[in-house]
Structures are given as C-alpha cells and as structure tokens.
Structure 1
C-alpha cells in the first residue's frame, strides 16, 4: 500500500503536525517495540528523556531510532507499519551533545524518499531508500569529507549535531550543530545546509545573530521553513543546559544562510529576555499566513506557573499579535479553523497544544488541559490578568486524577501532537498511560486506548502512518495502534 509520508518532527517543514490521511480508530495496540534499551529513570521513577520522532515512508515503513545504552549508542530500524516486522537495521556512530535531559535523536525523510540521520562529528548518514531491506548509511560531511577523514577523533569529540533535521521540497537538509572545542576545520556552533549532492554551506550562530554572546543553536530545536521555502527559522541561545538560558530567533536565507532577521526572545510579562531552555524541544512552527510561533519559558521560574509563553512573529520576526498562555516544551499543531465547527471567529487557522497548569508552582492548580487557541484574537490571561493572550477556543481537562489529589489531573506528555483534519480530531498521550482522540466537534475524548500504567516522563510526539495507523511513544516504547 502507499499513502502520505510522515517526514520528521511535526510531519512537515513547517512542523504543523497535520496529517494528510484520516487516522484509524483507536481500536487496540497492534504491536510495540522499544525505542530505548536502557532507559534512565530518576529516583522518583520519572523518565526525563526526550525521544525523537520516527518517520513513515509512503510505503508505510516506520523508521525508528533506538537508544541502545544508558548514554546513547543509536541504531535505526525500519519496520513494517502493519505488523511491526523488522525490515532492516543499521547502527550509527552518533554522539550526543552536552545536555541535561537526554535529547532526542531523530531521522528525516525527504520528499524524494531519502533517509537522513545524524552521525558523529557533524556528519549526516544517508540511506537512499527507507523501504529496501538492503542498504547502507553513507556519510556526508558538511565541512568536507577529506577534512573529517584526516582526523575523525578531533571532530567526533568537538562537533555535534544538536537539533533534529528538516528538509525542503528539493531535498536540501538543514540542521543546527554545536562545537565545544578547537577543530581542524575551524568550525564554530552554527547552522548547516546540505544539498542532495552533498555540497554544503554553514554559518555561525553568533555571526548570524550579530551577537558574540550567542553560543549555539538551541538543543532539540528543529529548523522550520517558510511556506515558500525561502527562509529557515531556528533559535539560538547562550548558557549551559540547566542554567537560565536566553536567546534569539533567527530567520536565514535558505539558499545562502545570510541573516534576514534576528529577534531577542522576550518574556511578555516581565519585559526581559525569556528563558530559552535546552531541556525542552520547542521548535519554530510556521502558519499558512507566514507567521512564526515559538515557545519559551518565563525568565523567573514560576511567575507564569512554569507554563512559559508561545510567542508569535511575522515572517521577518517582527512581533505580532499576542502570546499564547503556554509555551513550555511544545510545538503547536496548526489546524484549519474548519476543524472546530463551533468556532465563529475570523482566523483561517488555529493552534492546538497542551495547556498544563502545574500543581504546586506559584498559583498552579494542576488542572492540566489541552487547548485550541486563536492566534488572531485575545483575552486576559487567567494567571497574569494584565497580559492579553491568545483566545481559548476550546479547552478540555485531562480525564485522570493525579495521585493523591482530589482535583489535579495527570499531565499531557506531548510536545507535538498529530492533528487529523479529516476526522476533526487531535491525538495526544497522557501521563496516565492512555492515548486519546480529542474530537473537536463534540469537545470530548471520543476514543482512547491504554498503552501502559503511566508514569512521569518528558514530552513525546504522536504521528500518523501512511495507512492511517496511529503511533505514540510512552515509557521508552513505541506503540502502534490500529482499528482492528
């Protein structure tokens, strides 16, 4: 069978997470496979590991990154989406960049059907066919294969791809990389563009931002492309993981990587630079009108109940509109307004995302929700009423009480959630161990399927396969859900 591909984080180069096929009913778990063979839990039993978004080819091969050891060591598996049968497997030499929470490792599928994954020393590893049982992961080195081969150890120990990969319609691949020491090529932390033939260019983020204090692309921040493919958006920050990091959002020419715009990411409440944390996975999201959305944390922890803010900009990064009232570790799904029959506003598209309100943080109630927001309309924020935020179109409360609470609900453990425009629904997994279908017509959870008993964990994606099968990651395991 053939169907629409799921190319990478948030499905497309704008990270809209909108499926091009109707999803199957949440009937049962058809098959499972581990994405982490040695998960590392906190003493309290939480799993603070971000897992990369698998991809699905047009022939319904699910390409899955698998972490093999406590500290990394990744292999890539291609599995039959219908039954989980292993088609092929290949080890990689990828080395993780400096981090606090374990970062995601993510494959990328291009429109031409090529598969890319990060390798050590800033390399890309390329497989020409994600479906074929036989194939190799061939290296492409953006600063030159001869340079790398002359001293691999020097590059493997100092150059790290630190973001997911994104491709444009022509198959050009974009990513951020971090450099932690001297190297023979004179690389500094920056953004690279690699063409299908392997030719490449790169630019340092400090130079691109016009600010020598900017140190690297934000860990886990997948570049996004404008609708016409001419501009690439990526965030960069200063400071080490686990500290109060601040930063900028960059708009770069997608052909030359010349800077088109750079904006300091601000806390709209405190009026100072926001936290741009390496512990999250927020990535720029581009709306059909060219607006760019990016999630940040409040500068002073707890002043917005640790919810952060979803900032919005025009295509040249001029601030526009009002922020969303939640931005922590989230990339909103971009949905047509027609997905919400009750909507009576004027916006042509809306944003769907998690909307947690963490218990015990300032005035946080623990009434954790999902929300559909209108980026073109506003209301007073319920936490900081002096701030206008995106209007809530729909909200729905998590269905499961938190342990030991009479009111608080389990968190929505999602960073990018699959939207199904054809069935007017959103697919999101919760820390209660259940995957839910949120029906936007009735504003109810119309379907659900239990994955496991639940646990506290870092946020993970949901996605939809070429046959409409639904996928989620929970407790270091990938779950494939089918109607029957």
Structure 2
C-alpha cells in the first residue's frame, strides 16, 4: 500500500486543566497512561505496563464506517488513524468517523464529482472523539464529541490526534482551534483559538497535539494564503497562548521567493533517470520554482524533551516532493535553539542504494555516484505530508526523525541528530514511522518497521542499537489472505499474491516494560515480538489488505488497542 501511494504522490509532481500524568522516578517515558501520539511528549512509544499474554478479543467497535469504500477506491486504506488514548482510571478515547463518503464509480475515476479522495468529498465526513470506560471488565461507550475539524485541502486524509491530561482531553477543531473537553462528560471547557476571535476557514490544525509534563499544550497550525502558506507552532499554558511564526524562525531557510529545485517528472520523463547531460557536458538539473514559506509538516506532532526542548519538523511549502525541510529545536519560550537542514546529509543514491540499470527505479548508467536520480543532485531527506512520522527524543537527548526518500525504493531514511542538531547517522528505512524505544541494561534500543518495497520483501520489524545498527529483525512470513465473518469465524486462502509476506503498516509501534514489541501488519494480524526478536503471539483481527497507517497502544493492565479495517480491537485476558 505504501509503495502505491508513493508512486501516486511522485506522479502528481487554552487553558489547560489538570496536569500530565507524572512519571515514576525510574521511568523517563512519561508514566503509564498513553496520553498522546507516541505515548509521551518524547514520542518514545513505551509503557511501564507489562503486556498481557494469550490475547483474546475483549471488545470490538467500528470507528470508520467508510473503510471498505476507501479500501476499494485506493487499493488500501490511505488514512492515518490516531492512537487510542488510555489512562489508569479506565478511560479510553478513540476516533469515530461519521457523515457520508461517496465512492467513485468506477474506483479512481473521479466521478461522480466530488468523490473518493477529493477534498470536497472528504469534507462530507465528520470526526468525533468517542469516550469509553471499563466497567466490570466491559468497555462501555460513555460520550461522544463531534469536532468541526476537516481535512486539509490535499487529496488525502490527515491524522486527527488528540491528547489528554488527568482531567481534560484536547481535540483538534476547525480553523486552527483546539477544544478542551472535560474528561468525565465531554463538556466543552473552552475553545482555544490562537488566530483570533473567529474561526478562520483557511487554517487547520496540522498533526498531533502534544502535552508536556506540566500540561502545556503544543501543536502546529497551517493557514493557506493563495499559493503560499503561513504556519505557526502554538504553545498554550494555563494562563497564556503564544505562538512562533515558521516564516521567520529559521534564518538559514530559503525565502518564499527564492527558487528551489523540484524533481524530474517521475512518470513522464524518459527512464531511467536522471536525464543525460547537457550538450556541454554539464549535468541536467530539474526545473526551479519559488520555494514558498517554511511551514510545519502536515502529519508532524512536536516532541518535548525532559528539559523542555521542543523538536518539530518543517518544509518549504512550494517544493513538489518535500526536499527543503528542517529539523527544528526550540527553547521552552519558543525561541530558536537550533535548526538543521535535511539537505546535503546523504550521498547514497545512484550506485549505492539505487542500482544503475534500465528499470523504473534504476539510475541511468554513467550518472554521478550517490546522487538522487529524481534531481541529479545529492539526496535531500524529505518531509512528506502523507507521513505521520514525528520526532522522537531519545534517553541521551539525541533525536530521531523518519524522513521521506523515493530513490531507495520509497523506504525513506531514519535520521539521527545529536542534542545540538548535528547529524550523526541514518538507517535505510524511515518512511511513515515514529519509532518506539526500549530502555534496558543501561542503554536503549529502537524499534521500527523495515519494509523492502523494491524487491517486494522481506517485510521486517527491526530493532536497532543507539547507533542505528541492526540488533535483530522479525520477518513477516504470512502468505494467506483472510477475513473474519460477522459470526467471528475466520476463513483464509493462499492465493499466491503475497509469496514474500505482507508489509508492516504500523505507524508507531508499542513496547511494554519487558521489551515486547506490538505491531500491525497488512495481513490483518497484531504481532507480539519478544526482546530476542521471536514472535510470541499473532492475533488475526478483521481483514487482510485492509490495514491503514495505524499505531498501537497499551493500557496499565497490559490490554492492547489495535485497529484494522476501520474497527478498534481491544485484546487481553
């Protein structure tokens, strides 16, 4: 599914109530509650709970009634689902979609207009926060809040990620606003609007909401202004709302009217890329156009370190394939700490990760070693709006970010920077992943998905060392296509369509206190992989090839919250 979406992308060339749950003295992750994207403000994906064994289905709820239609339209569900939030009091908060969705007939035709992924069709849907509560070991719906949030004006459905404190839940709203709700009832405490008294129809909340250990809220807002955009990082304390303008935050970034290199048209251009040299022997370069303003990535949730450092990601709004991005660190008062360009750090294109040859992904023989065939220049690590990858702050203060790259088979790069923004190293996979972190034995390990799209496998869950070397990989070997019937029975056929297994669709894995990894694959299964890289459990949910970009969370009793085919599954004992 990710490869198909990547090809399509390339072709298209406040008042804060309560406080965050306190962390225990020996747990840097932010506590046992799953309060936001990546579990904590640092986005490390680890809980202090021990995951339950011998998992069985405890509860099942429909959260996206349009999943089958979206799957038919796109050959996969191209939705970024938010992570379910859970706390020690037995509260659970999850997405619930409503409204209507018109399928294209035939799929992909664009008719009747608007249909499918047309923004006007997506705006027909509604996004709600559904609250549940555990009562006598039964998960019971309690209240629903329907937000007026709508997707961006892009042809995909971005993530609507809420966050919570001890007594409040925060939900993205329209016009760059956020609703603060009473946790016990869903009552609106207030609507936070950093842009003024009216709801601006051109503005939207971009990416997930983040709460630090003091209950301070951080999130990104993007406002469309003609062909350009305006974007801010918003900070909301108990008594004050402030924000910083991304247009002026990064001194080294190109100005909106500066010219930025684009890419060769991936489908229309003569293959293989890049084109031959100019008659004078100079390399052929892609066209240029105005860079546009720096703005937040659409799917990015800011990360907050223990010292209050805020880390987020920006990109030039006018660049077709996201090649002018920055990893940005701010001080708690929103002043700039450092900004690191994602350009000029890689040299692993032609002849390294991209072979010379005549195939679609190959480099034209004779091209300079290491360049990106889409630009004929040193590769740039991109900030894709179709990715939910967000920064992760590691125990030693270093930072990870899963950047987008196309030339290595759409695998992206997991980039690592030190605490001063200096690039250290990378791992050859980063596409749409917010890694989880397992702290152990005086060090830590990093867990990612590791899909090899170019060769149609293998598809791995991989654990890395702090310097991003591989510790182990668990390979998906499932070849069957399965589906769960309404009566709960599961039927499977081996249709020969996936001889090398299925890709991992987890966008943010979970790790329990013992180092067990919880992740979802496109085969429709939830997997539990132990600290040695061996499968401990495998539980089929609903449907094969119906997995969206989905995270996993665990509650304090070790129950697992996973999503498949538009349904929320709760697994445990």
Shared topology, TM-score over 0.5? Answer: yes
Give how far 1:399 is off.
Answer: 2.5
Matched, 1:410 2:502: yes
User: Residue 330 of structure 1 is aligned with which of 433, 440, 460?
Assistant: 433
Instruction: Quote the Cα distance in structure 1 between the aligned partners of 2:52 and 2:382.
Output: 39
Give how far 1:75 is off.
Answer: 1.3
Instruction: Quote the Cα distance in structure 1 between the aligned partners of 2:447 and 2:338.
Output: 27
Instruction: Quote the Cα distance in structure 1 between the aligned partners of 2:179 and 2:543.
Output: 36
Matched, 1:356 2:485: no
SS of 2:247's partner is helix
Matched, 1:394 2:394: no
User: Residue 371 of structure 1 is aligned with which of 450, 457, 462?
Assistant: 462
Matched, 1:439 2:530: yes
Instruction: Quote the Cα distance in structure 2 between the aligned partners of 1:57 and 1:454.
Output: 30
Runs (4+) of structure 1 exceeding 3 A deviation are 42-45, 239-246
User: Residue 48 of structure 2 is aligned with which of 20, 30, 36?
Assistant: 20
Is contact 1:222–1:284 with CA below 8 Å preserved after alignment?
A: yes
Instruction: Quote the Cα distance in structure 1 between the aligned partners of 2:62 and 2:295.
Output: 31
The residue number in structure 2 matching 1:234 is 312
Is contact 1:351–1:375 with CA below 8 Å preserved after alignment?
A: yes
SS of 1:207's partner is helix
Give how far 1:44 is off.
Answer: 5.6
Larger Rg: 2
1:408/1:137 Cα in 2 relative to 1: closer, same or farther (>3 Å)? farther
The residue number in structure 2 matching 1:114 is 168
Is contact 1:172–1:193 with CA below 8 Å preserved after alignment?
A: yes
User: Residue 334 of structure 2 is aligned with which of 249, 257, 271?
Assistant: 257
State the Cα RMSD in Å: 2.2
**Cα distance per residue 1:10-40 (max 9 Å; x no partner):** 1001100001111112421111112223232
Instruction: Quote the Cα distance in structure 1 between the aligned partners of 2:188 and 2:527.
Output: 37
1:216/1:24 Cα in 2 relative to 1: closer, same or farther (>3 Å)? same
Is contact 2:207–2:388 with CA below 8 Å preserved after alignment?
A: no
Is contact 2:145–2:186 with CA below 8 Å preserved after alignment?
A: no
Give the 5 Å matches for 1:216-295.
216-229=295-308, 231-239=309-317, 243-254=321-332, 256-266=333-343, 268=346, 269=348, 270=371, 271-295=378-402
Matched, 1:79 2:170: no
Give how far 1:57 is off.
Answer: 2.2
Instruction: Quote the Cα distance in structure 2 between the aligned partners of 1:133 and 1:174.
Output: 24
Give how far 1:477 is off.
Answer: 1.1
Give how far 1:265 is off.
Answer: 1.2
The residue number in structure 2 matching 1:158 is 202
1:127/1:134 Cα in 2 relative to 1: closer, same or farther (>3 Å)? closer
User: Residue 93 of structure 2 is aligned with which of 63, 68, 84?
Assistant: 63
TM-score under structure 2 length normalisation: 0.72
Is contact 1:415–1:459 with CA below 8 Å preserved after alignment?
A: yes
1:44/1:4 Cα in 2 relative to 1: closer, same or farther (>3 Å)? closer
SS of 1:261's partner is strand
Give how far 1:452 is off.
Answer: 1.4
The residue number in structure 2 matching 1:344 is none
Give the 5 Å matches for 1:69-148.
69=99, 70=101, 71=122, 72-81=125-134, 82-110=137-165, 112-128=166-182, 130=183, 132-133=184-185, 135-136=187-188, 138-143=190-195, 147-148=196-197
1:466/1:196 Cα in 2 relative to 1: closer, same or farther (>3 Å)? farther
Instruction: Quote the Cα distance in structure 2 between the aligned partners of 1:418 and 1:205.
Output: 31
Instruction: Quote the Cα distance in structure 2 between the aligned partners of 1:226 and 1:406.
Output: 41
Is contact 1:96–1:162 with CA below 8 Å preserved after alignment?
A: no
The residue number in structure 1 matching 2:518 is 427
1:252/1:77 Cα in 2 relative to 1: closer, same or farther (>3 Å)? same
Give how far 1:468 is off.
Answer: 1.6
Gaps of 5+ in 2: 1-20, 22-30, 102-121, 257-292, 349-370, 372-377, 481-494
Give the 5 Å matches for 1:445-456.
445-456=535-546
Give how far 1:96 is off.
Answer: 2.0
Instruction: Quote the Cα distance in structure 1 between the aligned partners of 2:509 and 2:215.
Output: 24
**Cα distance per residue 1:32-57 (max 9 Å; x no partner):** 11222323234463111111112112
The residue number in structure 1 matching 2:566 is 476
1:190/1:207 Cα in 2 relative to 1: closer, same or farther (>3 Å)? same
Is contact 1:208–1:250 with CA below 8 Å preserved after alignment?
A: no
Matched, 1:465 2:509: no
Task: Decide which moves more: 8-17 or 43-52.
Answer: 43-52
**Cα distance per residue 1:224-247 (max 9 Å; x no partner):** 012222x10110112469744531
May I ask how many residue pairs the two structures share in their alignment?
433
SS of 1:189's partner is strand
Instruction: Quote the Cα distance in structure 2 between the aligned partners of 1:17 and 1:372.
Output: 13
Instruction: Quote the Cα distance in structure 2 between the aligned partners of 1:102 and 1:353.
Output: 23
Is contact 2:95–2:128 with CA below 8 Å preserved after alignment?
A: yes
SS of 1:277's partner is coil
**Cα distance per residue 1:43-88 (max 9 Å; x no partner):** 4631111111121122121111212133241111111244231111
Is contact 1:224–1:234 with CA below 8 Å preserved after alignment?
A: yes
The residue number in structure 2 matching 1:319 is 423
Is contact 1:42–1:48 with CA below 8 Å preserved after alignment?
A: no
SS of 2:298's partner is coil
SS of 1:68's partner is strand
